[in-house]
Amino acid sequence: MSGTPRTSAVRIALVLPDMLGTYGDRGNVAVLAERLRLRGIDSEVVEINAGEFVPADCDLYMIGGGEDVAQLVAVRHLRQQGTLVAAAERGAVVLAICAGMQILGTSFVGSDGVVHGGLGLLDVSTRPMPKRAIGELVVRPDPAFGSELLTGFENHGGCTYLGQDARPLGAVLSGVGNGVNAVEGAVQGRVIGTYLHGPCLARNPQFADRLLSMVTGTELAPLSIPEVDALRAERLRAVGIR
Amino acid sequence: MVVGLVGSRDPGKRRRTLAATKLGKGAAWLSRTAGLGEGGIIGGRVAMALDRDVLSGLAAGRTVVLVTGTNGKTTTTSMVARALSAAGPVASNSTGANMPDGHVAALMARPDARYAVLEVDEMHLDVAAEQTRPAAILLLNLSRDQIDRVGEVRTVAARLRQVVVDNPQAVVVANADDPMVVFAAEPARRAVWVSVGGGRWTGDAASCPKCGERIDVSVERWACSCGLRRPEPAWSVHGQTVVTDGGRELELQLNLPGQVNYGNAALAMATVAQLGVVPEAALPRIREVSEVAGRYGDLVIGGRKVRLLLAKNPAGWHEMLQLVRTSGRPVMLVVNAREADGFDLSWLWDVPFEQLAGAQVVVAGERAADMAVRLRYARVDVTMNPDPVEAVRLAPPGDLDVIANYTAFRMLRVKGEA
C-alpha cells in the first residue's frame, strides 16, 4: 500500500458513536477529514450506529470510549458482524480509544465484574484498576508515530496488560496510561489503541498525519494551524513539560 | 393542621434547630459586615456544623419541592417559586447555591414560609430528600455534565431512581421525553409526565439506561426492546403552547428566550398544579421571570453591551447556539476548565459548532485555545484572546451574544457592569 499516491477518496468509518462516543471521540474523524481536505485529498465519513452494518471496505476505522454498559453491547454487535475484524486483517488502519481499545483486546472486565472476551485484534487484556485514572496524560511516542510528544486527557478505570504480540504506543511522561510498566496504549500491525481519550487527534497533529500516511501511502506535508500549536504548548506547560 | 407554625413537633429538636439557626445567622451577618460576600452560604455552613440535622428541622412543617436535573435547574426553580407564591410565602435558593448549605441558608432566611422550593445538585438529591421529605420532586433532564467529576450519566440516573423509591410520599413530576429521566422516575408511586417539546439534546440518551441497547430517540414515542418506553404525557408543549392535564391550551408568551424554557415552564406549571395552584394563576407569575441569577441578562464588558448566556455542558451549548444563531449578533465564547466546570473539555467536540460557520467568532477564557482549535476544525473564522475584556475588542461592531461556561460566566458577572 505504499509508493503510489491514491486517487480515490479516503473512507473513514466512525464505529458506533452512539454507544462508544461519550467523550467527543467523533472529533478525531472531523480532524482527519479536515486535515485531508486542507491537502486537497477527498474523504468520505461513514457513521455506523448500533443496529447498522459496519462496512468492511473502509480505509480507517475509529472506535471511541464509552460507558461500561454500552461497552458490552458494542462488543456483541461487532463480534456478530465480524466485518471490523475482517477489515483489520485486510490491513485497514484502526484507531481505538479507551473502552474501544479494551474491547479490541483479548479480554476485559465489564461493569458486571465478569471477564469478557474481546475481539482479539490487540494482544492486550484489561482488568479493573484500584483507583480511576483521571487527568492530563503526556506520552513520548514510539518513533513510528512521530517525534512530537502526545498530549491528552485520560479517564478510565482499566489497567491494560500487553501480551507478546502488542507493543506500547509510547512511554508515559505524565499521568497513568496503561497502569503497567509506565507505558501507554498498544500497537499491533495497523491497529492502534490508546488511553488518550476523546478528541486526541485535535491536540496531536503529527499523530493524526501518521495515521493518514498509513492510509494514503504518502508522506503528508505539515500543516500550520497556530491555534493547535498554542493549545499544545499550553497543555504541556500545564503539566510542567517544556 | 397547624397553619403558620413551621418547625419540628419534637421540642428538643426545635431547640437545636433554633440555636443552630441563630448562630448561623450571626455568622452570615459577620460575613456581610466584613464585606466577604452575601453571607448566605457561610450561615448555612455554620448552622450545619452545629446541628447535623438542621435541614430537617428547618424543613419540618413546610411543603417542600425539590428541583433537579442537568440543565435549567436555577431557571425552573425560580419559575416554580414564583408560581407557588400564589399559594403563600416561599423560601427558595434562588441564586443557584444548590448544595445542602445553600438549602439551609434558604430556609433560615425565610422562617415564615410555608413553602420551600429548592434547587438541588443531582448528586445531593438523596440527602436533601431524606432531610426535607419533599411533597414533590421535579426531574428536568439528564445529560453529561462535568463527567470527570459527577460520574457517568447512567450512574446519576440510577441514584435518582433510588431517591424516587425512597420517597413514596413525593409526587414526581418528570420529563417524559428524556429516557434517563423516565428511567429514574419510573418507580414513582405517583408520577406526572410532561412532554417538553422539541429542540432538546439527545446525544446522551441513545443507549438505554436500563439495558444499554440502542434507543432511537429521534422518534417522539421512543421505546426500547427491554420495555422502557416514553410514558403518555399528561402535559405537553407544542411550539409556544402548553396543553394542560385538563386539556386546556395556553400560550406561554415567556420573557425568557429559547425553546428550552417553554419546556421548563410546563414542568413548573405541572408541579405547582399538584400543590393546588391552577395553570391560569401560575402562568402570569412564570412570565415575570426574565433574568435568572444573571442568565440572559445584559452587561457591559470592555465598553460593549452583551447578552450573557450560560452553558455548562453539551446540551446547554446546543440550546444556546440555537439561540445565538437566530439572533444574528456577533458571538463571543468564553471557556474555563476549573473544578466546577470539569477539567476535561472533550465535550467541545460533541457540540455542533459547525452551525457557526460564516459567523465571525471571538473566543476567550482560560481554555480559549481548546475552543479555537475546535472552531478552526469546524471551519469557523475565529480570533482569540484569553482575557474577555481584551477579546471583546476583536469582535465586529454591535451588541454581542456571549456564551460562557460556569466559572467563566461568574467571572464575567464580576468583570462586567450591569
Interchain proximity A68–B144, CB inside 8 Å: no
Q: What is the pLDDT of residues B56-94, one digit of tens each?
A: 999 999 999 999 999 899 999 999 999 999 999 999 997
**Integer angstrom CA distances of residue B349 from B145, B222, B346, B353, B377:** 14, 26, 6, 8, 10
Looking at residues A158-168, what average pLDDT do you find?
Answer: 97
Q: Which of B212, B379, B384 sits opposite A69 (nearest CB)?
A: B212
Ligand-binding annotation for B224, yes or no, is yes
Q: Indicate if the pLDDT at residue B344 is higher than 80.
A: yes
Q: Indicate if the pLDDT at residue A4 is higher than 60.
A: no
Percent of chain B with pLDDT over 90: 59
Q: Indicate if the pLDDT at residue B24 is higher than 80.
A: no
Query: Which active-site residues of A does the annotation give?
Result: 98, 197
Smallest CA-to-CA distance from B66 within B52, B81, B47, B53 is with: B81
Q: Indicate if the pLDDT at residue A186 is higher than 90.
A: yes
Residue of A nearest to B376 (CA): A227
Sorting pLDDT into bands at 50, 70 and 90, what band is A7? low
Q: Indicate if the pLDDT at residue A67 is higher than 80.
A: no
Q: What is the pLDDT of residues B29-43, one digit of tens each?
A: 666 665 545 456 677
Q: Indicate if the pLDDT at residue B46 is higher than 80.
A: no
Q: Indicate if the pLDDT at residue A1 is higher than 50.
A: no
Sorting pLDDT into bands at 50, 70 and 90, what band is B101? confident
pLDDT of residue A227: 96
pLDDT of residue B157: 93
For chain A, what is the mean pLDDT?
93
Interchain proximity A227–B373, CB inside 8 Å: yes
Ligand-binding annotation for B416, yes or no, is no
Mutate: best of B154, B204, B373, B382, partner A, most A CBs <10 A: B373
pTM of the model: 0.80
Which residues have a Cβ under 8 Å from the Cβ of A179 and sit 6 or more positions away? A129, A133, A158, A159, A160
Active-site option among B344, B370, B387, B399: B344
Spacing of C-alpha A120 from chain mean position: 16
pLDDT of residue A193: 98
- Which segment of A185-189, A238-242, B397-401 scores lowest on mean pLDDT? A238-242
Ligand-binding annotation for B333, yes or no, is no
pLDDT of residue A81: 92
- DSSP assigned state of B214: B
Contacts of B343 in chain A (CB under 8 A): 134-135, 153
**CB distance B254 to B275 below 8 Å:** no
Contacts of B153 in chain A (CB under 8 A): 67
Q: How many interchain CB pairs under 8 A, A with B?
A: 102
pLDDT of residue A2: 44
Q: What is the pLDDT of residues B150-170, one digit of tens each?
A: 457 888 999 999 999 999 999
Residues B301 and A31: their CA atoms lie apart, in Å, by: 34
pLDDT of residue A50: 81
3-state secondary structure B30-83: HHHHCCCCCCHHHHHHHHHHHCCCHHHHHHCCCEEEEEECCCCHHHHHHHHHHH
pLDDT of residue B2: 37
Q: Indicate if the pLDDT at residue A242 is higher than 90.
A: no
Q: Which of A68, A134, A231 sits opposite B369 (nearest CB)?
A: A231
Residues B256 and B286: their CA atoms lie apart, in Å, by: 10
**CB distance A239 to A64 below 8 Å:** no
Mutate: best of A67, A154, A235, partner B, most B CBs <10 A: A67
Contacts of B210 in chain A (CB under 8 A): none
pLDDT of residue B371: 98
**Integer angstrom CA distances of residue A201 from A102, A147, A194, A228, B300:** 19, 15, 11, 10, 38
- Which segment of A165-169, B51-55, B174-178, B190-194 scores lowest on mean pLDDT? B51-55
Residues A105 and A115: their CA atoms lie apart, in Å, by: 12
Interchain proximity B370–A153, CB inside 8 Å: no
Residues A93 and A58: their CA atoms lie apart, in Å, by: 9
The dihedral built from the CA positions of residue A112, B172, B151 and A101, taken in this order, carries a sign that is positive
Interchain proximity A67–B153, CB inside 8 Å: yes
Chain B interface with A: residues with Cβ < 8 Å: 144, 147-148, 152-154, 204, 206-207, 211-214, 343-350, 369-370, 372-374, 376-379, 382, 384
User: B243: buried, middle or exposed (CB in 10 Å: 19+, 13-18, 0-12)?
Assistant: middle
Residue of A nearest to B352 (CA): A27
pLDDT of residue B4: 42
Q: How far is A164 from chain B (nearest CA, A)?
A: 32
Q: What is the dihedral of CA A137, A70, B214, B179, to 10 degrees?
A: -80
Other C-beta atoms closer than 10 Å to the C-beta of A30 total 22
